[in-house]
Structures are given as structure tokens and as C-alpha cells.
Amino acid sequence: MEVERATLADQRPYIDQVFAGTRTLLSFVVRMNREPVRSPTRSVANQEFHAVYDSVNDTARRIVRALQERGIRACNAVAAFPMEVELPGRGWMVAHKPVAVAAGLGQIGIHRSVIHPKFGSFVLLGTVLIGHHVTNYDQPIDYNPCLGCKLCVAACPVGAIKPDGAFDFITCYTHNYREFLSNFGDWVGAVTDAKNYKDYRSRVSDGETNSVWQSLSFKPGYKAAYCIAVCPAGEDVVNPFLEDRKQHRDAVVAPLTQRNETLYVLPGSDAETYAARRFPHKHQKRVRNQLRLTSARMFLDGLKLSFQRGRSKGLSAVYHWSFVGDEEVRATVCIDGGKLDVVTGHQGDPDISITADSNTWLKIVNREYSILTALILRKVRVKGDLALLRAFSRCFP
């Protein structure tokens, strides 16, 4: 599709950063084999993901080479996680999902993955940036292949996908991407905090150590991705589900939900409560939040990623935040009815106002400074009921 398309306006700065001469985006999919992805044996499923990611990148490179040989400038956008990742914030440069949707390769399902009308969820996405306009552009498909069956909701071991379509990013990130990105820092912390090898083994099981070693020596392993595995959407996939839904649940969903495994959860999170109730046979391990914040704006952006609506039950309040010092930012945060809204500037009448030195607040949320000390030294000043600040903190583990 043309890079000027309105639906890609928010992606344009990142596309230009990768290849400033982009005029056209070529989106494509590579199919995965279904049964390996559905396997409860994670080594089998992960090998399929990694093999197809390699195929996507190789395909994109070959397209770029073919265009280059014809005198057309082009650049392939890396599939999977690039090295520029910094969370919270943008975890990629070219976002393949909105590009694929704009190009007519599918729509986003309740599980937040693209569902191809023919191949379903069993696809990985690639994008090639081309330095020329073309004669004809595709358009989005006019329906969503998602069946609304909510099997992805049932299969998610930590409750990241909600029945009403909401998505808990931090819960999915903490468990499924346990050995990816900044979560790797939790293992590093276990190593550096241990007094000796015996102490380390009391913190980390042999199985976890072996899993980290495999991720380091081969490629990081996904802990779940069950939402894709159980999805029956797509012309090539749907018939067995429509013919016998119970058989699909027994053969595809049950082996994943009944699997004995460790679930990684943040203390005080919705995931901790959900998993204990829904999957009592699965072992839970509390881990530390590894999303390290480096700016007040990042703190505000991160609220949307880490909000726990279950923990916000009964809370209805408007918060005015004012950051001062090295970084001056004002924002309004509203929590009501299990929903979060964050806007720039002060809007409406606040129930509580918080003024904080930006550097001090970052140290507090990164667990490097005591909020009690900050209050005493007036580096953080609160106007209103302190109970509302405590209630606020409960919503963000």
C-alpha cells in the first residue's frame, strides 16, 4: 500500500527512520505448520516459530535483492524483535500488523494477532519498504475472520486476553516473553543476588536454568502463544472446528490448558489471582517487573501497558500529575469502572493532585528510593487523600 495512507500516519516516522525513501509498503505472510504450533511441547512449537521467522526474513531479503537488480531501491524490515527495542515504549521499528491489515492480508482478532482469511492465525508477517510508487494498491478486507469463539481467552494461562476484547500487556509480556528482552534481567538479578550456588538454586530451578541456557545458545523460547495455537479461524483451518467443536477443544485446547507448567506472574497482579483460580494445577512463580522507566513520559505511557483492571475494582478517581525538575510534564489519569484514561495536561477537577520531582519519582517506581522518604523530604507532594495514591499503586504491579 502507499506510505501516505491515512491509517499508517502514526507509523510514518518509524518507517522513514528505517528507509527514508519509502513510497510503497509490500506486506506478505509466510505460513506456519499448524500441528507444531499446537504442540504442548514448547521446543516443537518454538522451533516452528523461529524457522518461519527465518523464512520471513529470507523472503524479504530475496525480494529486496530482486528489486535492487532492477534498479529499484528497497529495504526489508526485520521480522520478530529488533535490537532497537526499549520497553515501555515502542518495541519495534516497522509495525507489521497495521501494515498487513492495511494491505488486505487480514484483520486483528481478539488475541491481538492478524488472522489471514485463508490461513488463519498460523502466519508470520513480513514487510518490504520500496522506494517507488506502484500502479495499484490493495485495500483492507471488509470483514474480520475472527469467529468470536474466545478459545484464545480460555487457553491463555495468565488471563491476559479478556472476554470483552481487552488485553493486559504486562501480564502477557511477563509470562510469554519470560526469556526475551528486559525480562532476562530478572534471571541476571537472581544470579547477582545469590550468595553462592546453593542460594542460586533455591531461587531458580534446574529446569529454569536449562531453559535460559537454551534461549541464550539457540533462540529465546515463547512460554505460551496458546492463543494462536487454539484459534480455529481461516478457511484452511475452520472446518474441523465447525464439524465438531468438542473434538477441537479436546484435541487442541485441553492439552495446553491441562499442561503442567510454571506461570510467571507479578506480585499483586490480576494474573496471580486469575491463574490460581483457573489453573490451580499450574505452578506460579512471582517475578520482578523488569520494565525500567527512564522518563516521566515513559511512566505515563507505561500506565496503559501495566494497568490491572481487576485490582482497580471499586476505584473511581481523577489524578492530576505534575512532574517538575529536569522533566516538566502534566497529565490527568482517570480510573473508573475498571478503565484507565491518560491525557496530557490537567483536565477536570482532581480527587488528588501529585507533584513530584521527576528524577525522584523514577527512582521510586524503579524501586531505588522510598516513597515515604520522598514525602517527608517533600520531593513528592500530595494534595488529597493519600489512600487514593495507595489505591493507584495497587493498579500497577
Cβ(222)–Cβ(211) under 8 Å?
Answer: no
Binning pLDDT at 50, 70 and 90, where does residue 215 land? confident
Using alpha carbons, list the distances in angstroms from residue 334 to 166, 358, 371.
17, 20, 22
pLDDT digits (tens, 9 = 90+) for 289-326: 877 888 999 999 999 999 999 999 999 999 999 999 99
Statement: residue 86 has pLDDT above 90:
no
| Distant-in-sequence contacts of 377-385, Cβ < 8 A, 24+ apart | 380/354, 380/355, 380/356, 381/354, 381/355, 381/356, 382/352, 382/353, 382/354, 382/355, 383/352, 383/353, 383/354, 383/355, 384/350, 384/351, 384/352, 384/353, 385/351, 385/352
* Element housing 354 (H / E): strand 352-357
Q: How would residue 187 be classed by pLDDT, with cut points 50, 70 and 90?
A: confident
Chain-centroid distance of CA 152 in Å reads 15
pLDDT of 181 over the 80 cut: no
CB distance 365 to 299 below 8 Å = yes
Domain 296-394: which CATH class?
Answer: alpha beta
pLDDT-derived band of residue 189, with 50, 70 and 90 as boundaries? confident
- Chain segment 352-361, per-residue pLDDT in tens: 999 999 999 9
Query: Which residues make Cβ contacts (< 8 Å) with residue 47, sequence separation at least 6?
Result: 36
pLDDT value, residue 192: 92
pLDDT of residue 219: 86
All structural domains of the chain with their residue ranges: 6-130, 151-286, 296-394
Asked if 285 and 262 touch (Cβ cutoff 8 Å), the reply is yes
pLDDT band at 230 (very low <50, low <70, confident <90, very high): very high
Kindly state the average pLDDT of the residues 75-82: 80
Tens digit of each residue's pLDDT (9 = 90 or more) over 264-279: 999 999 999 999 999 9
Sole residue written with cell 487457553: 155
Burial (CB < 10 A; 0-12, 13-18, 19+), residue 254, is middle
Residue 87: the pLDDT is 63
What mean pLDDT do residues 159-181 have?
91
Mean pLDDT, range 175-197, rounded to an integer: 87
Is the pLDDT score of 82 beyond 70?
Answer: no
Query: What pLDDT digit, counting tens, does each position of 332-347 carry?
Result: 999 999 999 999 999 9
DSSP H stretches of helix in 33-95: 34-38, 42-69
Using the 8-state DSSP alphabet, how is residue 27 labeled? Answer: E
pLDDT surpassing 70 at residue 241: yes
The answer to whether residues 132 and 73 touch, using CB atoms and an 8 Å cutoff, is yes
Q: 307-310: list long-range contacts, CB under 8 Å, 24+ apart.
A: 307/168, 307/340, 307/395, 307/396, 308/168, 308/170, 308/268, 308/269, 308/270, 308/394, 308/395, 308/396, 308/397, 309/166, 309/168, 309/270, 309/338, 309/339, 309/340, 309/395, 310/270, 310/273, 310/274, 310/338
Buried b (16+ CB within 10 A) or exposed e, 208-222: beebbebbeeebbbb
Q: What is the pLDDT of residue 266?
A: 95
Percent of the chain predicted with pLDDT > 90: 85
Average pLDDT, rounded, for the chain: 93
Predicted confidence at residue 291, as pLDDT, reads 78
The secondary element (H helix, E strand) that includes residue 217 is helix 206-217
DSSP secondary structure code for residue 249 in this structure: I
Beta-bridge partner residues of 161: 167
Map residue 155 onto helix, strand or coil: helix
Q: Are 226 and 256 in contact (CB under 8 A)?
A: yes
Cα gap 45→53, rounded to integer Å: 13
pLDDT of residue 62: 97
Confidence of residue 37 (pLDDT cuts 50, 70, 90): very high
Q: How far is it, in rounded angstroms, from Cα 324 to Cα 350?
A: 18
Residue 218 has a pLDDT of: 85
pLDDT > 70 fraction of the chain, expressed in percent and rounded: 97
